[in-house]
Amino acid sequence: MFSIPKNAVYKRVSRRKFLELGGGAASALGVGSMTLGLGSTITRSPVQAASSEDAKWKQYAGSKLVFMSENTPPSFAIRDNIKAFTDLTGIEVTILTDDLPVVQQKVGIDLRGGKADYVLNYVQDKPIGAPFGEFYTDMTPLFGDSTLPQDPDGYGDDAWFENFLSACGRFYTEGKIVALPYDCAVACTFYRQDLFEANSKDFEAEYGYRLEFNKDSTWQNVIDMAAFFKKAKEAGKDVPYGYAQHQGSFAWTTQLDIQRFLFANGRWMDWNIDDVYGSKDPGKTNWGDDSSIAMLTKFKELADVCHPDNLANGTLELNTVYQAGNIAMQTQYHEFAASIEDEKTSRAAGGKTAYAPCPKGDAKWIKNGGEAVNGTNCGIGGIGINGNASEDLKRAAYIFAIWSVSRDNQFNVLKGLGGTPTRKSVLEIEEVKKAQQRPTTMPNALTFDAVYNYGIKNPNFVLGPKIPNANEYHSILAAEVQKCLSNEQSPEEAAKSIQGQLDELNGAG
Amino acid sequence: MTNASITLAVPSQKGRPALELFRVRHIPDSVESRPSSAVVAEPTSINPPGSKRYYFLLMAPAILVLAFISIYPFFWMIYMSLHDVDIGKVEWNNFANYLKLPSDTRFIMGWALLVQYSAMCLFLQIVIGVFLAVALNGSRFEKVLVTTLLMPMMMAPLVAGMVWYFLYNGTFGWYHWLLQSLGILGPKSILASANTAMIGIVLVDVWQWTPLITLITLAGLKRVPQDQLEANMVDGASPVRNFMSVTLPNLYPVLLIAIMLRFMDNFRFTDSILVLTGGGPGNATKILPVYLFEVSFKFFKLGRGAAIAFILLIVTIILGMLLVRVFERGQPKKG
């Protein structure tokens, strides 16, 4: 059937030779892909302070960098637009994205293993920055390096929103800056004003005040609203549940839920430590005191009238519940407004949703003498440079870092996929100012007033706690609070259990 | 006397390598004559007799590879478990990683949940797997059905976890809707309650790995002697009696393998649980391997993680050996 030439290749290559070639090729492929495919490489053309700006941007042309990031809008948008950076610098950047817990594990192994497979990292403040802060490069010497390109807007605290630079860049000390604010997720309230209006009369008849939400609405109001909707739903009325939270598989989201609630009521915090820089030695925790037990009791009261899937939903899932029209209100991170306002995927789109600051504490509940505030917390994601990398790799990575957080880039991301700016100057752009009112082409901008003008301002904003054992602290807190919400233990037992475990964790027992 | 017993019945000779015992060197006169093909003739040896060095050289590459990928990490794990481990810092800590474990409630609870999880998975998989194998054995559609059944096994556990996560989802999950429509579930999704989350993760494991039990059992069923089954039926035994007294004893060896595989797999399993619940709600599904993963790769307490891993390994080995003994006792005696 087939004609085989006498000098066919397979006849000229002996079996032994074939195996040798095959083995060699496989080894080369393996080693090659490991060294070139993943790792960063560097090529350098020396420049001086007097060199042109173009030469400074292009001094590492031909280099390759790897950036490990969370799957957030800026990373997708920058990946889509990476050609602009390569054209500007000649540097190729591979942007790998994954869920935050996976990013945390990958960069953790890389950093603690003394490697620099990921020369650029997404430094989410508490889960990544707090445990690994010391493994990142101090950027402050690079800010003043005249042989590197610099951002005309600068990198000082004033260039960013209040406390953002400290949130993701400073860990346990003021002098060292290990990351620049890349994106942010700040909590605020999303609520269905169409449902609120439709049910206002019934609510008022039962609770004696109007069903509306504003910056003075308290957590007690939220409990009332959630109870009202739940009761109506269970009575067969065509309404969704009133409220839901994110206490699913990722412990950090549960910690943030409970933190907002406790901070709102007397600015209660887990430890008496500096909230901006954190502490390597936090000492004894405040868990177990009267305030924590009372607040946990109220928190359980709220959970009992929430959507039943609180303990299975993380941030994304909770947002899906809201998008599906299954709840009337959620405290959610402002980056999700873009998906809520997408009419193709959301029943809450089309002007049905309004945005407000996080609920305020209730003065009657407060036991520690503190004030009632709109407790607002966040995840500020920075971009940092792996401290294990070579000096030239660090410099090349710095060029990408400052480009990625530049005003123009943040504006483009906001216009494109729905970013969350960290530079103040982005909000000064006329187009962004207009976008904060409906109709808008930048849905995230609808949250900006609640977030940037209110939530992140003192006394509402809580940044920490930054401690080296942040991830174990999140895990302990989430597990004990979830057990309390599942009726496995009382609020007092939960608070005491958290106290015991945290004090042991930090050697303060 | 069987062929195997001929081989093993050869008396050991002083000074001979143990491996040589497994060669057929001598066929006793008492052995009845067989077709010549059934008797293993002594191979012409190319090895100098008794050359241990030659055997060692042959095994050396495998030993080196094994040492590199298994033995070295094993001893490194033990070393780590005795120290506080961090980048550039390894400090002896007076067995602190081990001494703290008895007071670690998450470690103790992890064991309890692991036993519960493994027992539930094994029981359901064996019962359903054997039932399916018996039902499929000799069926007209055996090959098609077996191929179909094997599909879950071909899926990566992590992907299986994600698929089931969506199926269980309280907002759009099809299984959630089904279970709720049947009145089995209340308003809470299966993973949202500490009471049902364990069932949720067990069902995923049962779905994915029962086909393995079916496959192994099916192979075992082909070896059940038909003459014994027929003789039993002639004696008036019912199908159930036939299964219990003939089929099941003959399945012991294969079931042993199946149970061993699944038991050891469950004792190191984390993949789909991490996706489905992350160990929650509370610690309701935080079986020990999940806690071990958390300690090592979320908290980066590598010394503590190594101590947990070492204890888990030792317990797995001991339980594995006990399991083999139990099944050896349960096997029908031959001869």
- Pair (B210, B294) in one structural domain: yes
Q: How many structural domains does chain B have?
A: 2
- Tokens linked to A65: 């960098």
Within a domain: B16: yes
User: Does A475 touch chain B if contact means CB atoms closer than 8 Å?
Assistant: yes
Domain boundary residue, one of A391, A412, A443: A443
Contact, A74 vs A46, CB < 8 A?
no
- Tokens linked to B301: 């307490």
Within a domain: A6: no
- Pair (B166, B36) in one structural domain: no
CA distance B199 to B276: 12
Tell me: pLDDT of A223 over 90: yes
Q: Average pLDDT, stretch B132-148?
A: 89
CA distance A250 to A257: 12
Q: Average pLDDT, stretch A487-509?
A: 95
Band of residue B68 on the pLDDT scale cut at 50, 70, 90: confident
Selection from B221, B298, B295 nearest residue B258 by Cα: B221
Within a domain: B282: yes
**Helix (H) / strand (E) containing A247:** none
Tell me: pLDDT of B38 over 50: no
Within a domain: B57: no
Selection from A348, A314, A341, A342 nearest residue A240 by Cα: A348
User: Does A387 touch chain B if contact means CB atoms closer than 8 Å?
Assistant: no
- Pair (A319, A468) in one structural domain: yes
Tell me: pLDDT of A21 over 80: no
**B322-332 per-residue burial string, b: 16 or more CB within 10 A, e: under 16:** eeeeebeeeee
- Pair (B31, B147) in one structural domain: no
Tell me: pLDDT of B50 over 70: no
CATH of the domain at B111: 1.10.3720.10
Band of residue A28 on the pLDDT scale cut at 50, 70, 90: low
**pLDDT at res. A202:** 96
Band of residue B269 on the pLDDT scale cut at 50, 70, 90: confident
CA distance A365 to A385: 44
- State whether A479 and B294 contact (CB < 8 Å): no
Q: Which domain holds residue A205?
A: 186-378+453-505
Within a domain: A166: yes
**pLDDT at res. B249:** 86
Contact, A55 vs A88, CB < 8 A?
no
Whole-model pTM over 0.90: no
Contact, A87 vs A427, CB < 8 A?
no
* In chain B, alpha helices (H): 3-8, 52-66, 72-81, 96-99, 105-136, 142-150, 157-168, 174-181, 197-221, 226-234, 239-242, 248-266, 271-276, 288-297, 302-330
- Pair (B153, B220) in one structural domain: yes
- State whether B86 and A324 contact (CB < 8 Å): no
- The mean predicted confidence, pLDDT, of chain A is 92
- The mean predicted confidence, pLDDT, of chain B is 83
Q: Considering only CB atoms, which chain B residues are within 8 Å of A313?
A: 170, 192
Poorest-pLDDT segment among A429-433, A492-496, B45-49: B45-49
Poorest-pLDDT segment among A37-51, A161-175, A202-216, A254-268: A37-51
Q: Average pLDDT, stretch B87-109?
A: 89
Domain boundary residue, one of A397, A415, A443: A443
Within a domain: B335: no
Q: Average pLDDT, stretch A10-35?
A: 62
**pLDDT at res. B252:** 84
Cα A44 from chain centroid (whole Å) = 34
Q: Average pLDDT, stretch A299-308?
A: 96
User: Which amino acid makes up residue A252?
Assistant: W
Of B189, B277, B283, the CB nearest to A309: B189
Q: Is the peptide bond before A308 cis (omega within 30 degrees of 0)?
A: no
Contact, A328 vs A237, CB < 8 A?
no
**pLDDT at res. B332:** 60
- Pair (B3, B145) in one structural domain: no
Of A104, A131, A326, the CB nearest to B171: A326
Distance between the two ends of chain A, CA-based, in angstroms? 83
- Nearest-Cα distance to chain A for B195, in Å, is 9
- Pair (A226, A365) in one structural domain: yes
- Tokens linked to A460: 């509402």
In terms of Cβ atoms closer than 10 Å to its own Cβ (0-12, 13-18, 19+), residue B164 is buried
- Pair (A373, A428) in one structural domain: no
The dihedral over CA atoms of A257, A263, A268, A273, expressed in degrees to the nearest 10, equals 90
Of A105, A326, A486, the CB nearest to B282: A486
- Pair (B10, B155) in one structural domain: no
- Pair (A154, A197) in one structural domain: no
Tell me: pLDDT of A392 over 90: yes
- Tokens linked to A418: 């729905």
Tell me: pLDDT of A364 over 50: yes
Within a domain: B64: no
Q: How many structural domains does chain A have?
A: 2
**pLDDT at res. A159:** 96
User: Does A134 touch chain B if contact means CB atoms closer than 8 Å?
Assistant: no
Q: Considering only CB atoms, which chain A residues are within 8 Å of B199?
A: none
Q: Average pLDDT, stretch A220-229?
A: 97
Tell me: pLDDT of A428 over 70: yes
User: Which amino acid makes up residue B258?
Assistant: A
CA distance A145 to A143: 6
Q: Average pLDDT, stretch A120-140?
A: 95
Tell me: pLDDT of B202 over 50: yes
- Tokens linked to B175: 């299984």
- Pair (A423, A392) in one structural domain: yes
The residues that bridge with A189 in the sheet, in sequence order, are: A331, A356
Of A320, A321, A482, the CB nearest to B280: A482
- Pair (A150, A245) in one structural domain: no
**pLDDT at res. A418:** 87
Of A108, A308, A469, the CB nearest to B188: A308
- pLDDT tens readout for residues A461-479: 999 899 999 999 999 999 9
Within a domain: A153: yes
Domain boundary residue, one of A443, A461, A495: A443
Domain boundary residue, one of B50, B66, B84: B50
- Nearest-Cα distance to chain B for A486, in Å, is 7
Tell me: pLDDT of B41 over 70: no
Band of residue B241 on the pLDDT scale cut at 50, 70, 90: confident
Within a domain: A23: no
- Pair (B116, B25) in one structural domain: no
Band of residue B15 on the pLDDT scale cut at 50, 70, 90: very low
Domain boundary residue, one of B35, B50, B65: B50
Q: Average pLDDT, stretch A142-170?
A: 95
Q: Which domain holds residue B27?
A: 1-50
Q: What is the DSSP string of A426-457?
A: HHTSHHHHHHTSSS-S-GGGGGHHHIIIIITS
- Pair (B174, B266) in one structural domain: yes
- Pair (B320, B182) in one structural domain: yes
Within a domain: B39: yes
Q: Considering only CB atoms, which chain B residues are within 8 Å of A488?
A: 194, 282
Residue of chain B whose Cα is closest to the Cα of A131: B299
CB atoms within 10 A of CB B306: 23
- Pair (B121, B235) in one structural domain: yes
Grouping H, G, I as helix, E, B as strand and the rest as coil, residue A267 is coil
- Pair (B41, B107) in one structural domain: no
- Pair (A235, A102) in one structural domain: no
CA distance B335 to B327: 18
Q: Considering only CB atoms, which chain A residues are within 8 Å of B297?
A: 105, 108-109
CATH of the domain at A195: 3.40.190.10
User: Does A202 touch chain B if contact means CB atoms closer than 8 Å?
Assistant: no
Q: Considering only CB atoms, which chain B residues are within 8 Å of A250?
A: 278
In terms of Cβ atoms closer than 10 Å to its own Cβ (0-12, 13-18, 19+), residue B243 is middle
Band of residue B333 on the pLDDT scale cut at 50, 70, 90: low
Q: Considering only CB atoms, which chain A residues are within 8 Å of B281?
A: 247, 311-312, 482-483, 485-486
Distance between the two ends of chain B, CA-based, in angstroms? 8
- Pair (A372, A383) in one structural domain: no
- Tokens linked to A315: 């941030």
Within a domain: A494: yes
Tell me: pLDDT of A37 over 60: no
The dihedral over CA atoms of A202, A203, A205, A211, expressed in degrees to the nearest 10, equals -120
Band of residue A6 on the pLDDT scale cut at 50, 70, 90: low
- Pair (A176, A190) in one structural domain: no
**pLDDT at res. B87:** 62
Q: Average pLDDT, stretch B160-171?
A: 94
- Pair (A112, A130) in one structural domain: yes
**pLDDT at res. A29:** 60
Within a domain: A105: yes
Q: Average pLDDT, stretch A266-286?
A: 96
**A251-287 per-residue burial string, b: 16 or more CB within 10 A, e: under 16:** bbbbbbbbbbbbbbbbbbbbbebbbeebbbebeebbb
- Pair (A261, A367) in one structural domain: yes
**Helix (H) / strand (E) containing B86:** strand B83-86
User: Does A370 touch chain B if contact means CB atoms closer than 8 Å?
Assistant: no
**Percent of chain A whose predicted confidence (pLDDT) is above 70:** 93
As for the ipTM of the complex, it is 0.86
**pLDDT at res. A27:** 65
Residue of chain A whose Cα is closest to the Cα of B194: A486
Within a domain: A18: no
Within a domain: A29: no
User: Does A483 touch chain B if contact means CB atoms closer than 8 Å?
Assistant: yes
User: Does A251 touch chain B if contact means CB atoms closer than 8 Å?
Assistant: yes
The residues near A422 (Cβ < 8 Å, ≥ 6 apart) are A160, A161, A164, A181, A182, A183, A184, A380, A405, A410
Contact, A124 vs A422, CB < 8 A?
no
- Pair (B262, B132) in one structural domain: yes
Q: What is the DSSP string of A153-176?
A: T-SSGGGBSTTHHHHHH-SS-SS-
Q: Considering only CB atoms, which chain A residues are within 8 Å of B193?
A: 311, 486
- Pair (A156, A249) in one structural domain: no
- Tokens linked to B37: 């093909």
Q: Average pLDDT, stretch A68-93?
A: 91
Tell me: pLDDT of B28 over 50: no
